Chains A and B, each alone.
Chain A
Amino acid sequence: MSAYEKIHAAISTANDSGRTALVPFITAGYPEPKDFIATLKNVASAGDVVELGIPFSDPMADGMTIQRSSFVALQKGVSLKWIFDELDSAQGEIDAPLVMMSYLNPLRAFGFEDLADRALAAGVYGFIVPDLPYEESTELRVVLEAKGLGLIQLVTPATPEDRLKTLCDASRGFVYAVTITGITGGAGLPVDLADYLTKVVSHSTIPVCAGFGIREAKDVAAVGQYVAGAIVGSALVEVLERGEDPKPFLEALIE
């Protein structure tokens, strides 16, 4: 099984037990770098795949919540190298496969070859790069695929149908269906998702996970009618921001 197939497997296992897979997002090292691994373990125990946000100075696809967490983490010295060192130290203790969400520039600065080596060793099996459209992605994709790592493609309600097919074919790990035309941290889900999500699923041979605007159990249930998994980002980061335990929040999402 290649690394990215472990992501498929984790999502399928959840679906096989009769529920929507849960993909929680946290900003690495937020709110306190010293609590990073404890927070990650806690979140991973309630999620099927964990999306780990790499802080960046210019998070142009993110709303206020993730911008704030990103700036705080950067101020406290969080870097990609530090994150990998921490993950190495927690080897085998994290219950879910990880994917990293990072803007391109920190990954470039780290070096794609080193990135792939360290990711594989640390249990990071996929990457979501919100400012790397398919047309610019060959260089990174080739390096990741050589190690069996997945480059997860985002699709949006604005994506034309022919492009949707290309993106679904290219995606590895899962297909990230953005629910809204907008940035992360929106107030909620749009009312009519059925046509859009059904269309994405029809083009994909791998699991589809929906994200953006998912805040509570009814949102997870709403997207769960159509897709394999639900991604919860800003709402979870707000829980961390308030200093609350994320586990009950996540468990309540899939009740």
Chain B
Amino acid sequence: MSTLFAADEAKRLLDAAIKGDMPDERGRFGPFGGRYVPETLVPAFDRLETGVKEHLHSPAFQAEFQKELREWVGRPTALSFASRLSEAWGAEVWIKREDLAHTGAHKINNAIGQALLAKRLGAKRVIAETGAGQHGVASAAACARVGLSCSVFMGAVDMERQAPNVDRIRRLGAEVIAVETGDKTLRAAIDEALREWVTDPDGIYYLLGSAVGAHPYPYLVRELQSVIGIEARQQMLSQAGGLPDAAFACVGGGSNAIGLFYPLLGDDIELIGVEAGGIGDGLGENAATLATGTPGVLQGSYTIILQNDDGQVQETQSISAGLDYSGVGPEHALLQATGRVKYISARDDEALEALGELCTIEGILTALETSHAFAAARKYAKQNPGKRILIGNSGRGDKDIPTLTKYPAGI
């Protein structure tokens, strides 16, 4: 993809991204991003953009948001030195523990931030989509916390493989709406949430869970998730005595990855995003969007997507519901095109193996999504002995038990 720009153009765009000048006023990350939404939603997006500008970096909002992160989410989350994993891999491995955040994943950072914003913007009702269910749980919890009603759209396929989260969402007082259309996974859930939003653009706040979609969502979600990278950077300096050589995060839509990577863009750190390699390299056998996709418009954004020659979006395959998505956040498309972040993939079996290893030698049951990052980091460690590696542990794996019971424990 580095052939997309001339080298000097790539450098100019990357410098702008590092300086914080992306997205531009049209919501573009270089050529990527923008706002491709139905006319009915244009005024709602204008209001959201105005609201984000007014509140997101205001002292009053930030004070409230930071207080919630500290006292309700449980931040800062720990940075754990993985001594036994380090020994096994021949590396120095550090794990940023988003699994320890309230509700068990990084999703809560964004959910509580947007719920606070929705309240300020006078929303009557919140809707959200979810794939793995973590964003649904986080949204339900955040809405309960701020006192807003919440409906969560979830693909029927995902409801089955992430059953524990469906129950959690309901117990937290939110409604779960089964999506039987399209591919019945995350992409269909986003389409259905957009259709719902169109029915009441004034009263509904759409709490989008990843750094995808139309402007200002990729920006808003990045800003709310950047706490991961900001904390991890400080913790590496104080606990490890220096920055890592390489940092890994899994990428579906890419919210935890952008949260970890964005504050590290200006540092001399190799940044590696890991997509779902599914069961193979063929179209439809994986969700390795950046590795195998092409530019196109999906769900509001010009980005890299998995599509056929006719521009029809392709279905994906992955063992992990949270990575099972045909698109990716537009900022990742830019970071790949400029060469700043490398995007690779790990297959289902590699992710399962990494999950087993982490369980048995570090005592951490990580999410299937996150396991992809561990699988790739392990490979890297074997090829580059002695490196200091940071891994974003985006969530815990309790929700994956229905899937994991189909595979033997351990490795």
A interface vs B, CB < 8 Å? 56-61, 63-64, 67, 71, 74, 79-81, 103-110, 130-133, 135-136, 153-156, 158-160, 163, 167, 178, 181-183
Contacts and interface: CB of A to CB of B under 8 A. Distances in A.
Nearest to B294: A109
Contacts of B200: 181
B298 interface: yes
A135 B40 CA distance: 14
Contact of B38 (A58, A61, A64, A79): A61
B44 A105 contact: no
A15 B191 CA distance: 38
Given A158-B202, A182-B198, A183-B195, A60 B38 contact: yes
A31 B296 CA distance: 28
Interface in B33-47: 34-40, 42-44
A178 B309 CA distance: 31
Contact of A155 (B39, B191, B201, B299): B39
Contacts of A56: 312
Contacts of A133: 35-39, 42
Size bracket, chain B contacts: 35 or more
Contacts of A105: 296-298, 305, 307, 311-313
A176 B121 CA distance: 30
Interface in B168-201: 181-182, 187, 191, 194-195, 198-201
Interface of B: 26, 34-40, 42-44, 181-182, 187, 191, 194-195, 198-202, 296-300, 305, 307, 309-314
Given A58-B182, A58-B299, A106 B36 contact: no
Contacts, number: 107
A163 B311 contact: no
Contact of A182 (B199, B313, B314): B199
Contacts of A108: 296-297, 311
A58 B44 CA distance: 21
A181 B39 CA distance: 10
A136 B34 contact: yes
Nearest to A153: B39
Nearest to A80: B310
Nearest to B309: A109
A60 B191 contact: yes
Given A57-B312, A105-B311, A133-B35, A159 B42 contact: yes
Contacts of A154: 38-39
Contacts of B43: 158-160, 163
Nearest to B183: A57
A181 B296 contact: no
Given A103-B297, A105-B307, A181-B199, 18 more contacts: A57-B182, A58-B182, A58-B187, A60-B195, A60-B299, A71-B182, A74-B312, A81-B310, A105-B297, A105-B312, A105-B313, A108-B311, A109-B309, A131-B38, A131-B297, A135-B35, A156-B40, A163-B43
